[in-house]
Amino acid sequence: MLRLAMERVVPRERNLLLKSLSAADFQLIEPYLNPQAFSQHKILFEPGQSVSYAYFPYDAVVSLVVTLSTGEVIEAAMVGRDGLVGAAAALNGKIAINRAIVQITGDGAACDVEALKRAAMQSPTLHSLLIRHEQVVYAQAQQSAACNATHTIEERLARWLLRARDLARSDTLPFTQEFLAEMLGVRRTSVSMVAHTLQQAGLLKYARGRIQIVDLEGMQENACECYETVSRHYDLLLGVRNNK
């Protein structure tokens, strides 16, 4: 078993946060990184649950959502190949405060939270990175709150699709209108009307639960400022930017 573990190679370049680690920091957590397949709509943890694993997505995309007593949910932040899901658990925040749900199927790595916590205690640089990552996620949640209160549904939808595209590295995204409405916290009919408008403008194509962005520049022009703001946060605090 030890020989097999030593031969296992973790494709760290597929996650920008792992890629940014120094060789010494990566060696601290590499033995505890295990392949993880993320299926769409899988829930990684729920509010109030103890978090046992942190997840480094490669091409999967995960939404951190707030759940209401009515059963409604709204997305606070989106994490993919630029980050880590569950980092707070390695910083003494073992109890989840939101739901983590997979929105795009893909691969990644899972890391035992206690092992990640021990590694962070050994390395000030790794500990600092985890703190800065959580700052970015918090900033993204703040930006989403401001966006939902201020910007039009068309701007918000364009912003949301562009970030999902950057993380998935694909112009075709497997989203139903129901799912989009849930993530944006609006009615399905509103999403349908906006998607139709964007399709008529030649910016995207929508059919059978799939959305294809066909005019990237046009979508960027329609998106609100929050799309670029979130990207700048990743640049400033983590030195990674998905849409380069």
In the chain, where are the structural domains located?
2-123+140-148, 152-223
Section 100-129 average pLDDT: 95
Section 5-29 average pLDDT: 84
Q: What is the CATH number of domain 152-223?
A: 1.10.10.10
Query: Does residue 6 have a pLDDT over 60?
Result: no
CA separation, residue 213 to residues 162, 180, 244 (Å): 9, 15, 17
| Owner of token pair 């030593």 | 6
- Confidence label for 235 from pLDDT (cuts 50, 70 and 90): confident
- Confidence label for 239 from pLDDT (cuts 50, 70 and 90): confident
CB contact at 8 A, 61 and 79? yes
Architecture in CATH for domain 2-123+140-148: Sandwich (2.60)
